[in-house]
């Protein structure tokens, strides 16, 4: 059994750096705050938003699927 609290997660700003969508955390922060990033089709403005396996993140015309395994 897996609960949300024990599931693997990554924060949105960290994920953007991890997949090389942005070169710095500062750039990730700005893109998120100005509404240029969406998660699962919805604009997300919280850089600390927890992402779970299978979430879809879109930025600058590219889509990334969260894979934490």
Entry pTM: 0.87
Specify whether the CB–CB gap between 37 and 59 falls below 8 A: yes
Please tell me the total count of domains within the chain. 1
Is 2 domain-assigned? no
Structural element, H or E, at residue 65: strand 62-65
Is 58 domain-assigned? yes
6 pLDDT above the threshold of 90: no
Query: What are the beta bridge partners of residue 56?
Result: 65
- The string of pLDDT tens digits covering residues 19-42 is 999 999 999 999 999 999 999 999
Q: Which domain holds residue 29?
A: 9-65
13 pLDDT above the threshold of 50: yes
Please state, in angstroms and rounded to a whole number, the distance separating the CA atoms of residues 32 and 12.
9
**Could you give the percent of the chain with pLDDT greater than 70?**
91
Residue 29: which CATH number? 3.10.290.10
Is 43 domain-assigned? yes
4 pLDDT above the threshold of 60: no
């Amino acid at each position: 059994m897996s609960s949300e609290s024990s599931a693997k997660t990554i924060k949105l700003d960290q994920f953007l750096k991890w997949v090389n969508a942005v070169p710095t955390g500062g750039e990730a922060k700005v893109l998120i705050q100005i509404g240029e990033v969406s998660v699962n089709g919805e604009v997300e403005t919280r850089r600390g938003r927890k992402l779970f396996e299978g979430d879809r993140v879109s930025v600058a015309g590219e889509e990334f699927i969260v894979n934490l395994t």
